[in-house]
Structure 1
Amino acid sequence: MKPSIFDVAKRSGLSVVTVSRVLNGSGNVREKNRLKVQQAMKELGYRPNSAAQSLAKGKTGVVGLLLSTLQDSVFDAIVKSVHDELAGHGYFLALSVSPSCREPGSSFLMEKDRVDGMIILSPTWEDELIPELERKGIPYSIIDNQNPAYDLSAVQVGHYSGGYAAGKHLVELGHESIGHLSGPGNYKSTIDRQNGFLKALAENGLEPVFIEEGTYSMDTGYDAAKRWLAEGRLPEALFCGDDYIAVGVLNALQEAGRSIPGDLSLVGYDDQNLATLLHPKLTTVAQPVQQIARCAVDGLLAQMEGREAPPPIVLKPELVVRESTAPPHSYLKENTP
């Protein structure tokens, strides 16, 4: 990780304010302190950046990140990667966790005297949030936006290609009876994943045996699978809108004495930490966490520094094949005497 202004302050034994004065050529610094800062910079291989200079210009040196929950390992990984990227540029990261921008305190960070910019992670309230940021003149970057109107201001993940990869994998295994259990339809990513999945099936002359919508939760998968078992309409294969739904399905089948992938090939989405802890390990679609964080930070810093923002790109998720998918009836064939 690149050394930051805070590392220089620690190495020199001086305050961040003093270091920033040296970096900006202020005359109000004792010569011995200037030499200490210069020596610390040399030892660390530190090169000044705009974040260090901003402290001398009355900036906060803080970037806010607004998200709805921390009960998600993908969100956690994105937050950690954003933190590391910002630290390399000399910024602190401040979090605000709230399921809705309408809740008291949810916009605490959204003031120019508190942050230099904001990163918004997977909101469902852009129509209220973005105009407020623009009115206050706060630069922002969105990760996983839901409203297509903000595509140009957002870090885009190709959820369509992720859904396509999941559907294609199941088709190539030889499955024909394939279902889809999605998350809420008000999420743009939900619709993109579903449309990609449908495209993969259509290319092979197939249609899903059903598409059902639920919440991104284990309960959705568990309740749906119990109902399918009771009604005798379990498909050969299932694409779930996220890993938590898939875990619910897995639990229901194992509780009923059914096997995965013997009775059902199962694909999730997100590659949560739990995906490798399951038995069998879950085939899923992984999001490019580090690329997401890097693009969000790069775009935000460009705005904060008055530079031209990098052109928007669509980041590609990756299918990770594990133990929960197999050709139809392969488990029975392998275990028949």
Structure 2
Amino acid sequence: MKPSIFDVANKSGLSVVTVSRVLNGSGNVRERNRLRVLAAMKELDYRPNAAAQSLAKGKTGVIGLLISTLQDSVFDAIVKEVHDELAEHGYFLALSVSPSDREPGSSFLMEKDRVDGIIVLSPTWEDTLVPELQQKEIPYVIIDNQNPAYDKSAIEVGHYSGGYAAGQHLVELGHTSIAHLSGPAAYKSTIDRMNGFLKALADSGLDPLFIEEGPYSMETGYNAAKRWINEDRLPEAVFCGDDYIAVGVLNALQEAGLSVPRHLSLVGYDDQNLATLFRPMLTTVAQPVLPIARSAVKALLAQLEGKPSPEPVVLQPELIVRQSTALSQSFSKESPL
């Protein structure tokens, strides 16, 4: 049978109240008594209950993370890194999946007595969520916020520079007929990626061949590319709002007997796991997963410890050049059939 706090009290010859004060780090304990308690704990191999300690301090020891989907390898990687970072600081991570069409308040985690703080990953319902967190006095950090009004509470990624890098890469390859398949305009990151791409083209005196918007899905890329092929208006290059859209484009071209990058240079965004599973491997813009997670945890812990919040930083993505882009000189619209 595991020793209890009463066993420690008996062994040390002190009261349960004194033992409890030592366990909770209270300064109102004589040093000789503290040493007697610690010696008794060591002799009995007594290990205090972490949950009980947290409750005694008015803390849960739990950080919540709200996320809209688990079917995204970038989100998965961020969740894992957040978990590992929190574990190093003695916190547990509780995960809640709340699709964008569900009220955030329906989450079990949205109560102060259940979590010490909340990290929110890429929400579309900030205008409902943030006032509720503030009203309940729950510390929070947002990763990839949509509303600029919440920038001070957010961990931002430089999606504008990511879009610029993608457009600049295609221009430097000599392409002049370049299209963009964007994600939903409801996301601030979607608009930033598109604006960065447009600026890269404008800096070279180019306009996009066309821009089309759709969900972040393979179907978006597949349906668009199939239509372009049927209408004989396939561009030389396409920058896609994410890797799923890009893979959809790739599938449509291969189905039509065309190849990437011979008939079209293709750039995705996010560097999902699937970016290296297809052939050719996808040129894409990688999100800085580890810095995102570490920055979010650091900012939230600063709030919990009453320290000044770290200065907001914009984390920069990185262009990863693989096999799906090529110089325009090797480009050919002629079908191999």
Q: Is the 8 A contact 2:218 2:248 kept in 1?
A: yes
Give the secondary-structure state (helix, strand or coil) at the position aligned to 1:201.
helix
Sort the Cα spacing of 1:23 and 1:201 in 2 relative to 1 into closer, same or farther, 3 A.
Answer: same
Match of residue 139 from structure 1: 139
> What aligned pairs does 1:59-70 form with structure 2 within 5 A after superposition?
59-70=59-70
2: CA distance, partners of 1:200 / 1:104: 37
1: CA distance, partners of 2:20 / 2:100: 39
Letter in 2 for 1:24: G
In the TM superposition, residue 152 of structure 1 has moved relative to its aligned partner by: 1.0
Q: Is the 8 A contact 1:97 1:106 kept in 2?
A: no
Give the secondary-structure state (helix, strand or coil) at the position aligned to 1:90.
coil
Cα deviation code 1:207-234 (max 9, x no counterpart): 0000000010000000000000000000
Larger radius of gyration: 2
2: CA distance, partners of 1:137 / 1:21: 29
Match of residue 16 from structure 2: none
In the TM superposition, residue 54 of structure 1 has moved relative to its aligned partner by: 5.0
Match of residue 129 from structure 2: 129
2: CA distance, partners of 1:108 / 1:95: 10
1:95 aligns to 2:95 (yes or no): yes
> For this pair of structures, how many residues does the alignment match?
307
Tell me the C-alpha RMSD between the 2 structures.
2.6
Letter in 1 for 2:291: Q
> What aligned pairs does 1:4-15 form with structure 2 within 5 A after superposition?
none
Q: Is the 8 A contact 2:183 2:214 kept in 1?
A: yes
Sort the Cα spacing of 1:68 and 1:20 in 2 relative to 1 into closer, same or farther, 3 A.
Answer: farther
Q: Is the 8 A contact 2:216 2:242 kept in 1?
A: yes
> What is the TM-score when the length of structure 2 is the normalising length?
0.85
Match of residue 228 from structure 1: 228
Q: Is the 8 A contact 1:286 1:317 kept in 2?
A: yes
In the TM superposition, residue 305 of structure 1 has moved relative to its aligned partner by: 1.0
Sort the Cα spacing of 1:66 and 1:257 in 2 relative to 1 into closer, same or farther, 3 A.
Answer: same
1: CA distance, partners of 2:291 / 2:40: 39
Match of residue 35 from structure 1: 42
Match of residue 160 from structure 1: 160
Cα deviation code 1:249-293 (max 9, x no counterpart): 000000000010000000000000010111000000000000000
Q: Is the 8 A contact 1:182 1:212 kept in 2?
A: yes
Q: Percent identity?
A: 73
In the TM superposition, residue 146 of structure 1 has moved relative to its aligned partner by: 0.6
Q: Is the 8 A contact 1:238 1:264 kept in 2?
A: yes
Letter in 2 for 1:320: I
1:301 aligns to 2:301 (yes or no): yes
In the TM superposition, residue 23 of structure 1 has moved relative to its aligned partner by: 5.8
Q: Is the 8 A contact 2:24 2:57 kept in 1?
A: no
Match of residue 273 from structure 1: 273
> What is the TM-score when the length of structure 1 is the normalising length?
0.85
1: CA distance, partners of 2:319 / 2:289: 14
Q: Is the 8 A contact 1:61 1:91 kept in 2?
A: yes
The runs of 5 or more residues in structure 1 that have no matched partner are 1-17, 41-50
1: CA distance, partners of 2:239 / 2:52: 48
1: CA distance, partners of 2:264 / 2:289: 29
Match of residue 245 from structure 2: 245
Match of residue 328 from structure 1: 328
Sort the Cα spacing of 1:37 and 1:251 in 2 relative to 1 into closer, same or farther, 3 A.
Answer: farther
